[in-house]
Amino acid sequence: MVTRLKKFFSGTYLGLMLVFLYAPILILIVFSFNQSKTLGNWTGFTFDWYAQLFRTPEITDALVVTLSVAAISSVVATVLGTLAAIGLHAMKRRDKLLLENISQLPMVNPDLVTGISLMLLFLFVGLKDGYTRLLIAHITFNLPYVIFSVLPKLRQSSDMLYEAALDLGCTPMQAIQKVVIPDIMPGIVSGLIMAFTLSLDDFVISFFAGNGVDNLSMYIYASARRGVNPALSTIIFVPVVTLLLIVNLKSIREERNAELQSSKVGMKR
Amino acid sequence: MKRTDAKKPKSAGGMHVRRSVFAYPYVVWMAVFIVAPMLLILYYAFTGDGGLTAGNILQAANWDNMRVLLDSVRFALYTTVLCLLLGYPVAYLLSQMKKATAALLSVFFIVPMWMNFLLRTYAWKVLLGAFSNMLYTESAVLLGMVYNFLPFMILPIYTTLIKLDRSYIEAAADLGANPTKTFLKVVLPLSMPGIISGITMVFIPSTTTFAISQLLGGGKTMLYGDLIYMKFITEQSWNAGSALSVILLVFVLISMTFMKKAERTTGDEGGGRLW
């Protein structure tokens, strides 16, 4: 009885928290099928908002900018960052510590300060192109996340492997390509994913460092007062949730299988 | 074995030099896009028409600005406390569940972190505007901040709690502690590292939040981020803006040092970092 009551209360609490986290988005999604312009006043079902979404060049442009900046900046940051991690890992302790600490700056710095500092630099050197500015800014704030997800993997793997590859006749480049990189692949992939999602989501740094070319966050901010097309929330929400569920369900299923396996082994013993 | 040992000092040294070359492109990038921009902020913060000066900083540290900073800290504290009070039970309840269920449910609590935070804040703006008269009040800003930062509190606490060795809890029960006492004396202290990193992940970003107060506060609630924005963008006063940024940085570094210290005393590995 007591455990059941406990279960009921914990279920209710978690449910309420989920409602708190999802309600605003879900309500926006529901009303993206509403004919009326005002929220909370249901006048009939329609796909008009969606049709309008794809007819609004500001939105489609912002979508393209967001996705392309995320793709390019995360790939560039992953390549640069992985190489950097391999290099840092092989450095002397003192140099490594210094560089690691500087690398942490964009993570420690408030986004606002990072954005403004980049804005000052771009103004100082006279770089005007908004898209290039966004790319540079995103690569810069993505880099530390890649480096610090690759470095732990390098620490786990053995330096011997690299040296063995050299002894067996690999050039350093080949050794990195064929031995080191496969060994640290999980770190590289998680760095890439993190960089991509961070880039998709960024507002503050883009807002200050950018110049005229808007990503989705900047578009939403700029049009918040006159209202944003509610269909946009569906366009953003559904793919993210689906993707994350697919990725996680796979790992959860693996975990459950592993659990079953280990319990079987336990029984045998 | 012997042969490689004898060879090692020379060849290993040579290789290490060569491998560190891979970091050079990044080092250049870092110098241009991380170090140089920060130096620019310092430059504008400490120079005036006549040359080197501390005047900008002194001027920026006036009573009005410091009151805005205090207000931001107050908001950040409220946010942190609310996130902790709301988030700890979530993390705890999740950690008590079967592994597979907890893994699935925890995804749902973390998904919002991957959703455009501006859109989620905008959703609240629409919601509050349509169904309440809370929009453009301090409570709306606070709500938006708690909403945005809650997952950042849940995640680290949850990861600490699932790693917690169950035998401690069983031992406490075997030794006669009731569930409340077990929680207070065993679970809570052992989850301190998670709590502290949660606080770090919520308190510092929420001190410097910028868009939430604009969207939900309607410009009535001036936070420190808004102040910096005003100086740079509205007034185009780079010296004053940079001085405010430097003050903010000093504040963040001080808070971080405190957090690191707290982390170390709770036994989490700090690992030779400067900040």
pLDDT digits (tens, 9 = 90+) for A129-155: 999 999 999 999 999 999 999 999 998
Average pLDDT, chain B: 86
- Return the residue in B115, B161, B206, B212 with the most chain A beta carbons within 10 A, the one to mutate for interface testing: B115
Residue, of B107 and A116, whose pLDDT is higher: A116
* Nearest residue to A194 (alpha-carbon basis) of A31, A83, A70: A70
Residue, of A44 and A118, whose pLDDT is higher: A118
pLDDT score for A169? 87
CB contact under 8 Å between A121 and B122, yes or no, is no
CATH architecture of the domain with residue range B63-265: Orthogonal Bundle (1.10)
CB contact under 8 Å between A143 and B30, yes or no, is yes
pLDDT score for B80? 97
Distance CA A10, CA A132 (A): 49
pLDDT score for B6? 39
The residue written with tokens 């926006």 in the block is A28
Determine the average pLDDT of the residues in A106-125. 93
Does the CB of A169 have a partner CB in chain B at under 8 Å? no
Distance CA A136, CA A127 (A): 11
pLDDT at B239 over 90: yes
Q: If pLDDT is split at 50, 70 and 90, which confidence band does B275 have? A: very low
Determine the average pLDDT of the residues in B152-158. 93
Kind plus residue range of the DSSP H or E element containing B149? helix B138-163
Cα-to-chain-centroid distance, residue B226 = 18
- Annotate chain A with three-state secondary structure: CHHHHHHHHHHHHHHHHHHHHHHHHHHHHHHCCECCCCCCCCCCECCHHHHHHHHCHHHHHHHHHHHHHHHHHHHHHHHHHHHHHHHHHCCCHHHHHHHHHHHHHHHHCCHHHHHHHHHHHHHHHCCCCHHHHHHHHHHHHHHHHHHHHHHHHHHHCCHHHHHHHHHCCCCHHHHHHHHHHHHHHHHHHHHHHHHHHHHHHCCHHHHHHCCCCCCHHHHHHHHCCCCCCCHHHHHHHHHHHHHHHHHHHHHHHHHHHHHHHHHHHHHHC
Percent of chain A at pLDDT exceeding 90: 50
Nearest-CA residue of chain B relative to A136? B33
Determine the average pLDDT of the residues in A184-199. 91
Nearest-CA residue of chain A relative to B25? A80
Does the CB of A254 have a partner CB in chain B at under 8 Å? no
pLDDT score for B267? 54
Does the CB of A211 have a partner CB in chain B at under 8 Å? no
Distance from CA of A256 to the nearest CA of B (A): 6
Determine the average pLDDT of the residues in A46-70. 93
pLDDT at B226 over 80: yes
| B52 bridge partner residues | B47
Nearest-CA residue of chain A relative to B45? A117
pLDDT at B268 over 50: no
Does the CB of A196 have a partner CB in chain B at under 8 Å? no
Buried b (16+ CB within 10 A) or exposed e, B222-254: bbbbbbbbebbeeeebbbbbbbbbbbbbebbee
Q: Where are the domains of chain A?
A: 57-228
- Return the residue in B22, B212, B229 with the most chain A beta carbons within 10 A, the one to mutate for interface testing: B22
Q: If pLDDT is split at 50, 70 and 90, which confidence band does A3 have? A: confident
Does the CB of A79 have a partner CB in chain B at under 8 Å? no
A6-15, A80-89, B178-187, B266-275 — which is least confidently predicted? Answer: B266-275
Helix axes A111-125, B238-265, angle to 10 degrees: 140
Residue, of B198 and A262, whose pLDDT is higher: B198
Q: If pLDDT is split at 50, 70 and 90, which confidence band does A243 have? A: confident
Residue B145, SS3 per DSSP: helix
Helix axes B192-207, B238-265, angle to 10 degrees: 170
Average pLDDT, chain A: 89
CB contact under 8 Å between B29 and A121, yes or no, is no
| Contact between residue A99 and residue A91 where contact means Cβ atoms under 8 Å apart | yes
A180-194, B6-20, B64-78 — which is least confidently predicted? Answer: B6-20
Instruction: Give the one of B37, B119, B130 whose C-beta lies nearest to A118's C-beta.
Output: B37
| Contact between residue B228 and residue B244 where contact means Cβ atoms under 8 Å apart | yes
Percent of chain B at pLDDT exceeding 70: 90
**Residue A105 neighbours by CB distance under 10 Å:** 19
pLDDT score for B146? 96
pLDDT at B2 over 70: no
Residue, of B4 and B162, whose pLDDT is higher: B162
User: Which residues on chain B are in Cβ contact (under 8 Å) with A217?
Assistant: 116-119
pLDDT score for B8? 41
CB contact under 8 Å between A105 and B34, yes or no, is yes
Cβ neighbours of residue B117 under 8 Å, at least 6 residues apart? A201, A203, A217, B148
CB contact under 8 Å between B29 and A143, yes or no, is yes
pLDDT score for A161? 86
pLDDT score for A247? 77
Percent of chain A at pLDDT exceeding 70: 96
DSSP secondary-structure letter at B266? Answer: T
Taking CA atoms, A47 is separated from A6, B93, B123, B127, B243, in Å, by 44, 40, 19, 21, 50
Q: If pLDDT is split at 50, 70 and 90, which confidence band does B101 have? A: confident
How much is the ipTM here?
0.85
pLDDT score for B210? 83
CATH architecture of the domain with residue range A57-228: Orthogonal Bundle (1.10)
